[in-house]
Structure 1
Amino acid sequence: MLSWALTFFIIAIVAAVLGFGGIAGAATGIAKIIFFVFLVLLVVSLIANAVRGKGPKI
């Protein structure tokens, strides 16, 4: 999911450089939403792992 956010961020940068303001703004908004969803899922995953009490496998 983080790769999707990075992809949309790169699309936004390229669109902004080429002068497509509307596309750049939309891609930036999508990238922000996907990034925050990623962060929420990461936190939920870390909490669930801590509650189960399982450590990382080595």
Structure 2
Amino acid sequence: MIALGVILLVIGFVTGISILWTIGVILVAIGAILWIMGAVGHSVGGRKHYW
């Protein structure tokens, strides 16, 4: 999710399409939150790891 967010951020920045930039920021933020939750030991979606 973080990788997809970064890809969308880059594409949105290069092409100037603001919706891709917005979706990329949202995906990076959600991916980072899930990654941090999984890293500290909280279950995310019933799993101990995000992936």
Compute the TM-score of the two structures, normalised by the length of structure 1: 0.62
| Mapped partners of 1:36, 1:12: distance in 2 | 16
Q: RMSD of the TM alignment (CA)?
A: 1.4
Identical-residue share of aligned pairs (%):
14
Larger Rg: 1
Report which of the two has the higher share of helix. Answer: 1
- Equivalent pairs, count: 42
Superposition pairs of residues 18-33 of structure 1, within 5 angstroms:
24-33=17-26
**Structure 2: gaps of 5 or more residues:** 43-51
| Mapped partners of 2:35, 2:25: distance in 1 | 15
**Greater RCO between the two (CA within 8 Å, min separation 6)?**
1
Q: Which runs of 4+ in 1 moved over 6 A?
A: none
1:47 aligns with 2:40: yes
